[in-house]
Amino acid sequence: MGRISQIWVYLAEQPLLWLTITVGLFWLAQQLYRASGDFPLLNPVLVSVAVLVGVLMATGTPYHAYFDGAQFISFLLGPATVALAVPLASQAVTLRRHWLSITIALSVGSITAIASALAIGWATGLQGEMLLSMLPKSVTTPIAMGISDQIGGLPSLTAVFVILTGIVGAAIGIPLLRGLGMRDAVAKGFALGVASHGIGTARAFEHSEEAGAFSGLAMGLNGALTAILVPLVVWLLGL
Q: What are the pLDDT digits (tens) for 12-68?
A: 555 577 788 888 888 898 888 888 877 767 778 778 888 888 888 888 888 777 777
Say which amino acid occupies 136.
Answer: P
CA distance 134 to 157: 8
The whole-angstrom distance between residue 78's C-alpha and the CA centroid of its chain comes to 14
Instruction: Please check the confidence at residue 135 and state whether its pLDDT lies above 60.
Output: yes
Q: What are the pLDDT digits (tens) for 84-116?
A: 666 666 667 777 777 888 889 889 989 999 999
Instruction: Please check the confidence at residue 175 and state whether its pLDDT lies above 60.
Output: yes
Lowest mean per-residue pLDDT among 75-79, 157-161, 234-238 = 75-79
Q: Is the pTM of this model over 0.75?
A: no
Write down how long the chain is.
239
CA distance 239 to 233: 8
Lowest mean per-residue pLDDT among 61-70, 153-162, 172-181, 211-220 = 61-70
CA distance 219 to 197: 5
Where is 2: in which H helix or E strand?
A: helix 2-12
Q: Sketch the domain layout of the chain as residue ranges.
A: 2-76, 85-237
Cβ pair 22, 73 in contact under 8 A: yes
Angle at 79 between CA 77 and CA 84, to 5 degrees: 95
CA distance 67 to 93: 41
CA distance 29 to 50: 11
Cβ pair 186, 211 in contact under 8 A: yes
Cβ pair 147, 139 in contact under 8 A: yes
CA distance 201 to 198: 5
